[in-house]
Chains A and B, each alone.
Chain A
Amino acid sequence: METRTAFHKKLREIQDDILALGSMVSKATSRSIEALKKRDLELAQHVVADDKKVNQKRYEIEEKCVELIATQQPMASDLRIIVAVLSIITDMERIGDHAEGIAKIAIMIGDEPPLKPLIDIPRMAEQTIDMLRRSLDAFINHDAEAARKISAEDDTIDQLYDQVFRELLTFMAEDPKTITRATRLIWVAHNLERSADRVTNICERVVFVVTGKMEEIGASKY
């Protein structure tokens, strides 16, 4: 028999909020890459502006968590969920910041001629977004095994990052005039690599919710 219906309803609402925030930062990430690919400066401006909404949502969730701790004294798995949420929203806000960073680079690049068609960078973005979505599913479903698997996929992101880095280095070595443009793209790839690292943090929190243990499950190469 459920005896703390109101409390558990609020806790479920917070978990819905987490999904909403996840969807906001996923969208920001994919739109920032789209803006970069299509040189759509207006879209890039939107991503930058929308980051404020991401931050707002994060604070809103944080306040709800603090309120539940203060008024409901959560215990055991309820407590672990709230502690995990507080950490996960920080990671998601940072993913939002990385998307904003990419959008700002897109604005910086403006209408300069493209250095090369973007292939690996969008691939990194797609995979990061997919990992994020699945990590949040794992959080909602309390699926530690899925979280561990997703975390291991960070290696692929690191490999793609290496590939992008090496390729752009070749451009710069061959023609120093490309250095500025190539460096900017390295920044983009770096932002995505960091976002994927944040996803592994989220996965660690999923494992914590399930097992009660804080453990590092996927140490990034970078």
Chain B
Amino acid sequence: MNINLDVQDISTRPAEKCVTKLKAENINLYYGTFQALRNVTLDIPSCSITAIIGPSGCGKSSMLRLFNRMNDLIPGARVEGNIELDGIPIYNSKIDVVELRKRVGMVFQKPNPFPMSVFENVAFGPKRHGIKNRGELEQIVEKSLRQAALWDEVKDKLGQSGLALSGGQQQRLCIARVLAVEPEVILMDEPCSALDPVATLKIEDLMRSLAADYTIIIVTHNMQQAARVSDTAAFMMMEPDRAGVLVEYGPTAQLFTNPKDKRTEDYITGRFG
């Protein structure tokens, strides 16, 4: 399904800041013989939050993982179509996937700090990318933890294990870890589903503050969360052969008050799904 939307029309950001950051064109994704996504086309605007919603199994996470080629890790996964980051096709043998994943970071459903100190968790990425200077690393760690709204809570226990933090803190630590390598896009796959409501609202608040500088795509089961946090929203669903399709894509306020497609309406009002 082709849904052509001008990112200028759907973004709430100033026009000069809003460009197409990611572009997916006629995407078909297969896991072996099973088709997981069919003919998906959408443009993701920069410096905003795009939410992908839809029933379980509709291909939301598969869609998300296309943007930093995480699906490459799944045996038998095959992608047809074109995905571009800043106009450069990313499914191209010349693309350095490690560099791509640095630019397009990811936060997962379950907080997954490394079994090491808070400091080392955040410094891990920059170190891997060649930064050795302690002072520089300290600066990066502090900046990233501040951006992730975690600094004040952990500044006195940077040497403690990341696993000793609360669930919400662990998730913000994982976000800080992503921010430390200075990505441009952050993919979030159900980032709050393992968190309590207060921790959830903190992450949402953090997402809003990050949206000024980063392009964020979030997959969520929680429609209220998508409504609260995103600027644009995409609704996906499964066709009878279980392939995921994009049904509707547009400004969040419109999708949740006056969806254009009957299937979106039925899903968000709980008449199916």
Contact = CB atoms under 8 A, between A and B. Distances in A.
A74 interface: yes
Interface in A1-33: 1-4, 7-8
B257 to A, nearest CB: 6
A73 B224 contact: yes
Contacts of A212: 257-258
Interface size class of B (residues with CB under 8 A): 10 to 19
A69 to B, nearest CB: 12
B257 A3 contact: no
B259 A76 contact: yes
Contacts of B223: 73, 75
Interface string A62-84: 00000000000111111110000
B258 A4 contact: no
A76 B272 contact: no
Nearest to B260: A212
A4 B270 contact: yes
B112 to A, nearest CB: 30
A180 to B, nearest CB: 51
Interface size class of A (residues with CB under 8 A): 10 to 19
A62 B229 CA distance: 28
A106 B227 CA distance: 52
Contact of A75 (B269, B272, B273): B269
A76 B265 contact: yes
B134 interface: no
Contact of B273 (A3, A80, A213): A3
B269 A4 contact: yes
A74 B256 CA distance: 9
Interface in B127-183: none
A80 B269 contact: no
B268 interface: yes
Contacts of B272: 1-3
Nearest to B227: A75
Contact of B256 (A3, A4, A75): A75
B94 interface: no
Nearest to B264: A76
A177 to B, nearest CB: 58
Interface in B231-273: 256-259, 264-265, 268-273
Contacts of B227: 75
B256 to A, nearest CB: 5
A74 B258 contact: no
Nearest to A74: B269
Contacts of B264: 76
B256 A80 contact: no
A73 B256 CA distance: 11
Contacts of B259: 76
A8 B224 CA distance: 18
Nearest to B271: A2
A44 B12 CA distance: 56
Interface centre among B259, B265, B269, B273 (most CB of A within 10 A): B269
A211 B223 CA distance: 22
A7 B268 CA distance: 13
A77 B271 CA distance: 11
Interface in A31-77: 73-77
Contacts of B269: 4, 74-78
A76 B268 CA distance: 7
A75 B258 CA distance: 9
A18 B245 CA distance: 39
Given A76-B257, A76-B269, 7 more contacts: A1-B271, A4-B269, A4-B270, A7-B270, A75-B227, A75-B268, A76-B256
12 contacts: A2-B272, A3-B270, A8-B270, A73-B223, A73-B224, A75-B269, A76-B259, A76-B269, A77-B269, A80-B257, A212-B258, A213-B258
5 smallest beta-carbon distances between A and B, as pairs: A212-B258, A4-B270, A75-B268, A3-B270, A78-B269
